[in-house]
């Protein structure tokens, strides 16, 4: 269908809306956000109506891709919450000499924990946690995929936290 008019688009939406909703809910595993994805898939189908040969297939494929994007954003958001190191008391900003000594000791422990990471993991972890870089920026700088960056940062967090927990339990 190369010349899709507004009546044909409306008919397509009315005819396939409930099936598209079921499809999106099944892919998401919940209802939350499904209406937005269905509407966006429909809008994209309308926008590309002049180029689309099979509008129904295009709409369902678009919905599937939007669900995948939504899952990816959720997964990145979950791994992106690294925690606020300023509020973690790892490095304090205190006045007394005792507090400064404790802060220096914590800083040294954190440096040792990070130094134990593999070079590429350490680079990705440091750029993200201390440099505030995005996964995409890190991937470009290190010449690796964003998924690999995500894995390195997750591993860096896990190993760093494990090292710090072990060190504090021994004392």
- Residues 99-120 have pLDDT tens digits of 777 778 878 888 888 889 999 9
Q: How far apart are CA 138 and CA 51, in angstroms?
A: 36
Give me the helix-helix angle, 135-142 and 146-170, nearest 10°. 100
- The model's confidence at residue 48, banded by pLDDT at 50, 70 and 90, is confident
CATH 1.10.10.10 assigned to 85-170: yes
Q: Which DSSP state fits 48?
A: T
What are the start and end residues of each CATH 1.10.10.10 domain in the chain? 85-170
- Determine if residue 49 is left, alpha or beta; phi over 0 gives left, psi from -120 to 50 gives alpha, anything else beta: alpha
Q: What percentage of the chain has pLDDT greater than the value 90?
A: 14
How would CATH label the architecture of 6-80? Orthogonal Bundle (1.10)
Q: What is the mean pLDDT of the chain?
A: 79
Closest residue by Cα to residue 130 from 83, 75, 78, 76: 83
Q: Report the predicted TM-score, pTM, of the whole model to 2 decimal places.
A: 0.43
10 Å CB burial of residue 37 (0-12, 13-18, 19+) is buried
What are the start and end residues of each CATH 1.10.1740 domain in the chain? 6-80
Torsion of CA 74, 76, 77, 82, to 10 degrees: 150
More confident residue, 150 or 131: 150
Res. 86: pLDDT tops 80: no
């Amino acid at each position: 269908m190369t010349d899709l008019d507004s009546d044909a688009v409306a008919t397509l939406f009315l005819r396939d809306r409930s099936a598209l909703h079921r499809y999106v809910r099944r892919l998401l595993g919940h209802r939350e956000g499904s209406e937005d994805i269905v509407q966006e898939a429909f809008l994209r189908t309308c926008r590309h109506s002049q180029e689309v040969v099979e509008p129904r297939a295009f709409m369902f494929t678009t919905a599937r891709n939007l669900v995948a994007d939504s899952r990816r954003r959720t997964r990145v958001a979950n791994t992106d919450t690294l925690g606020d190191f300023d509020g973690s008391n790892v490095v304090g900003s205190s006045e007394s000499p005792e507090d400064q000594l404790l802060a220096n000791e914590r800083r040294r422990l954190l440096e040792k924990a990070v130094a134990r990471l593999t070079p590429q993991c350490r680079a990705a972890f440091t750029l993200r946690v201390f440099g505030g870089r995005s996964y995409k920026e890190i991937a470009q700088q290190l010449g690796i995929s964003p998924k690999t960056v995500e894995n390195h940062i997750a591993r860096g967090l896990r190993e760093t936290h494990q090292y710090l927990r072990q060190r504090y339990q021994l004392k």
